[in-house]
Structure 1
Amino acid sequence: MAVLARNGVLPFELSLVHRMFGHARSDAGDALYEVVTCALVPGEIRTDADFTLTVAHGPQALAEADTVMVPGAQSDYETPIGPLDPSLAAALARVRPGARIASICTGSFVLASAGLLSGRRATTHWHSSQQFRERFPDVLFDLDVLYTDDGNVLTSAGSASGIDLCLHMIRADHGARVANEVARRNVVPPHRDGGQAQYVNRPMPDPRISSTARAREWALANLHRPVTLRDLAAQESTSTRTFTRRFRDEIGTSPGQWLVRQRVERACALLESSDLSVDEVAEAAGFGTAGSMRLHLQAEIGVSPSAYRNTFRGRSQSA
């Protein structure tokens, strides 16, 4: 894995890649990734802080990587982002066909300028969303997500959502067990609910209004049974209409969408770690039938229950 550091790079975004992927280990304790930092020219580069970094690797590292990560840089925020600098375009041209490439925050402008996001789903920091839409109308822009995954091209919304993206990539490569362990070691949630729309500037909620945490906690304890919007609202002693509004303001998605995602995650965990049959997993996750679970997994993660189990159960056992 190669991380491309441009002048003015945000140190947090650069380091989180090393931190997350560097903690991914097999059962035997072996590192699952080799992460190197590269620059357009080896040597000293500026950051957006009061220190510089010495980068030993040049753009050749991009040609050797299975995955390329592009963090944001200070210049992405200071001036309108124009065509790619020729040296940056030449460096990205080194990325081999079929390699996975991902951006953090405004690094998505680099991918879009290189033509890598045309016709693909992508996101960037909400503060730069209007500029992104105007500049790249051919990109399927999605503001209401923390990250996107469109085949071998991925983007994250902001600096911290780069963590969510890294965990998603680790989960896709090596299964939930490894990703959850990385999250645990870094004291972050393995999956955050909602999208970045919940962070867009908006009037502050009334502090007298309680959160929906009690209802969500209750739902997670009762995923195996039918859960209705009325049930959730009752946990907060409010109407379904008021609960739905509060839930969307707090989580960034509807109660129904959130509930489906929790059931999918429960099903994936059971498929990966248990010997339950597909029918039993469907019942335990609250889908009721294997057919219903199959439809939801296909919609959410693009694979059938059997395909997920064959892929990630095998990786877990062989790690």
Structure 2
Amino acid sequence: MISIKDSSEPFRAFLGSILSIIEGEPVEPSQFDPSMQLDTIMEDTDDGPLPEDDIDDGSGVYVGSSSTSNPPMMTCSQAAHENINPGLMITSSSPDSPESFQLWVHLDALSNNTLALPMSDRNDLNGKQRLWLTRFVGSGSTGRVWQCHFDDSDDLFAVKIVELLCPSDADSRQRLQNEFNMYLALEAAYKSGQLCDRIAPHCYGAYEGDGVNIIILGLCDGVLNAWDELSAPEQAQVYKLVQDLHSIGILHGDLEPQNVMRAIGGGFHLIDFSQSTRHNCKENVVQNVTTPLIDQLHTPRPAAGRNDICSELQTLRNSLWN
């Protein structure tokens, strides 16, 4: 039971007016007392923000949450980490609304985040970049995806968000952390020269706040609805992406059309690595097929029982060339 009998007269009148419109409830009449004395609230001296002032009270619009509670540490000093990633502010408020009406969520980089944000011309007073959510793109088993941009920039990005609202959301948070670990592995492969072409969208880091975790990614140009949308050369491109992924020791774990996106400017990217695992692929074609030529890929399907074709590549092969 919630009672408002001890609430102030103005609040009871305000709540009654709302209920009278929405629920058709009768409004309790207010008694006007001309001799009523109003209290004067003395303004305290501003001694600067208190530690509790930085705690989000839940009044803002939470835009995501995910990632593990104890992420693995990378081989970079905490000081360097703090200099590269001072933090982030994110909002779904309109840039046209007054600043006093804008609701921001403050985020810090995950402890294993070694990836840098895109450059922005404007930060807040604490050096944090500001990210604006502009359009809802879609949702999946792990979180929601929004289109976004940074302050004073027309470049668009995607942000994957998981909110930790109930105990069951801890699984989504763990999957997002796992996904970020795979993006770190991909980035290491690009820098070392193991991969020449990008398998996935560019990742700009992972951040966490009070009940919300996010991953910031490059924007793609639409998701596949079915495998038969692909032309024969496109089928070969997608198959080659998965081969390259296996060649650096990653099993995607959820190869469906909705996890393949068209890259802006042409080609494809794999997305949603939340169920990915490390994998030692022994399939011969990972080494043998180095170019996406159709005649190389349309070879007779291996006989049942051959162990040089791993199950994920075999399933993809059957889906594309059935």
Q: TM-score range by the shorter chain?
A: under 0.3
Larger Rg: 2
TM-score normalised by L of structure 2: 0.27
TM-score normalised by L of structure 1: 0.28
- Structure number with higher strand proportion: 2
